[in-house]
């Protein structure tokens, strides 16, 4: 018999029903599965893996400017007049700065003050990705940066959504970027016992969300950028609409620096707030793109939280984690996976969870192990995207099939 972990007041407010509608009109990706939205998506739904073994201590960085250019082209939105530039903002964050840059600059300082680059400070500020995009395209709307560990990308999308819904602007370029892989970062996360180490010779098998043999996450790099737009603004210019953003929820675990609350309260609160913000009922949700990084503790707690929140409706919900295919992009995880969630809605396909062979949790939830799954529903397709970060910060986004 289902027993809820946390009792949530499910009474809906009417506030969410009278706000401006926000839709997704453009997307861009640079990630381990490929460059370009369609390349990455096709690799994902065809059960390809972008995870490889690290052999070189000097790793190439994946700039968010590539993903931004694709997203703007996809949306057919590159404002030229001053009014449109002032009505377009940027919300892009990163999870962590380049640790190697800090170390090498400190070593340079030992050789003399003049050896320190005058660009060092701008390079390590977390808002510089948003600043660079704003400068390059002349965008004078809200300029915002989020840095909330592994929830960064989802928070950036959610904040951008609220800027538009609240009437501050009509268009937002949002998402996250991460170029985090270095020997120091790998060593640091290994010391936390957060990374997978059992499959070093079989990298494609290393990231295995929900599987009983999971032993930690695999770090990934990349960027994903979304163009969000006020609905009437998009309709007036006949923009292509991928999906609608319905709601956004945030919470704090308030328990531990790196571990989620054991009862899943933080995740439940984030999901509940997103659903209430969307003004819908839980029975409308049939797919959840989980945060599930492949850690022994986190994956199990998230599944219990989802089932607790969904209750008897759990049997109608499919849960998937795409991190089995591309690893954990830290600050760019929530936004990359949001793009895949949106494409799942658009294409009516639930992407697979790679390397899921033996589920170690008793649950009535459904899964898509190793191969894609058709998303069959008699009503509109509605999904949640979870993202959680160190420090106990949680975000949940609610996306839906766009209906006029």
- Per-residue model confidence (pLDDT) at position 63: 45
Is the pLDDT at 261 greater than 90? The verdict is no
Tell me what the mean pLDDT of segment 207-223 comes to: 96
Tell me what the mean pLDDT of segment 214-228 comes to: 96
Q: pLDDT tens-digit profile of 154-195? A: 999 999 999 999 999 999 999 999 998 888 888 888 988 899
- Per-residue model confidence (pLDDT) at position 9: 60
Phi, psi dihedrals of residue 182, rounded to the nearest 5° = -160, 160
Is the pLDDT at 1 greater than 80? The verdict is no
Q: What is the mean pLDDT of the chain?
A: 92
Q: Which of 155, 233, 328, 396 is catalytic?
A: 328
- Per-residue model confidence (pLDDT) at position 164: 98
- Per-residue model confidence (pLDDT) at position 259: 87
Tell me what the mean pLDDT of segment 285-296 comes to: 97
Q: pLDDT tens-digit profile of 325-337? A: 999 999 999 999 9
pTM of structure: 0.93
Which two tokens mark 208? 């295995």
* Residue 343, CA distances (Å) to 96, 241, 249, 295, 387 in order: 27, 11, 21, 26, 18
- Per-residue model confidence (pLDDT) at position 52: 86
End-to-end Cα, the chain, rounded Å = 39
Q: Is 150 a catalytic residue?
A: yes
Phi, psi dihedrals of residue 172, rounded to the nearest 5° = -135, 135
283 burial type by CB count under 10 A (0-12 exposed, 13-18 middle, 19+ buried): middle
Higher-confidence residue: 59 or 257? 257
- Per-residue model confidence (pLDDT) at position 181: 86
d(CA 153, CA 134): 17
Tell me what the mean pLDDT of segment 282-298 comes to: 97
Tell me what the mean pLDDT of segment 344-351 comes to: 98
Q: pLDDT tens-digit profile of 31-63? A: 999 999 999 999 999 999 999 876 654 434 444
Tell me what the mean pLDDT of segment 119-142 comes to: 94
Q: Are 389 and 152 within 8 A, CB to CB?
A: yes
d(CA 349, CA 300): 24
Which two tokens mark 301? 């707690």
Q: Is 328 a catalytic residue?
A: yes
Q: Which of 144, 291, 396, 398 is catalytic?
A: 291
Tell me what the mean pLDDT of segment 309-327 comes to: 97
Q: Which of 150, 180, 396, 398 is catalytic?
A: 150
Q: Is 396 a catalytic residue?
A: no
- Per-residue model confidence (pLDDT) at position 332: 97
What region, left, alpha or beta, does residue 175 occupy, with left being phi > 0 and alpha being psi -120 to 50 degrees? left
């Amino acid at each position: 018999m289902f027993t809820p972990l946390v009792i949530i007041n499910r009474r809906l407010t009417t506030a969410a029903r009278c706000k401006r509608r926000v839709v997704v009109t453009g997307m861009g990706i640079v990630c381990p599965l490929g460059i370009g939205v369609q390349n990455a998506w096709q690799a994902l739904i065809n059960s390809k893996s972008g995870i490889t073994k690290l052999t070189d201590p000097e790793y190439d960085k994946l700039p968010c400017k590539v993903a931004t250019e694709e997203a703007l082209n996809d949306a057919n939105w590159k404002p030229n007049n001053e009014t449109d530039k002032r009505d377009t903002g940027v919300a892009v964050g990163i999870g962590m700065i380049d640790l190697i840059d800090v170390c090498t600059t400190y070593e340079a300082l030992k050789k003399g003050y003049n050896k320190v680059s005058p660009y060092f400070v701008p390079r390590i500020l977390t808002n510089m990705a948003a600043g660079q995009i704003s400068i390059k395209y002349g965008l004078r709307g809200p300029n915002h940066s989020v840095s909330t560990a592994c929830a960064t990308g989802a928070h950036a999308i959610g904040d951008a959504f609220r800027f538009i819904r609240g009437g501050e602007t009509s268009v937002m370029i949002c998402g996250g970027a991460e170029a985090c892989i270095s020997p120091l970062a790998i060593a640091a996360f290994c010391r936390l016992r957060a990374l997978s180490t059992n499959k070093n010779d079989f990298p494609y098998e290393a990231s295995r969300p929900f599987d009983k043999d999971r032993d930690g996450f695999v770090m990934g790099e990349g960027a994903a950028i979304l163009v969000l737009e006020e609905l009437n603004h998009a309709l007036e210019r006949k923009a292509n609409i991928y999906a609608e953003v319905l709601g956004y929820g945030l919470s704090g675990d308030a328990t531990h620096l790196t571990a989620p609350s054991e009862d899943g309260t933080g995740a439940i609160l984030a999901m509940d707030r997103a659903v209430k913000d969307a003004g819908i009922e839980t029975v409308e949700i049939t797919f959840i793109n989980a945060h599930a990084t492949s850690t022994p503790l986190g994956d199990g707690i998230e599944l219990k939280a989802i089932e607790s929140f969904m209750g008897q409706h759990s049997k109608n919900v499919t849960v998937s984690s795409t991190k089995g295919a591309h690893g954990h992009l830290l600050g760019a995880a929530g936004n990359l996976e949001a793009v895949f969630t949106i494409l799942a809605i658009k294409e009516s396909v639930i992407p697979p969870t790679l390397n899921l062979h033996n589920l170690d949790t008793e649950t009535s939830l459904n899964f898509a192990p190793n191969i894609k799954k058709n998303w069959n529903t008699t009503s509109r397709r509605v999904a949640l995207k979870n993202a959680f970060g160190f420090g106990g910060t949680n975000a949940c986004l609610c996306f839906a099939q766009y209906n006029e």
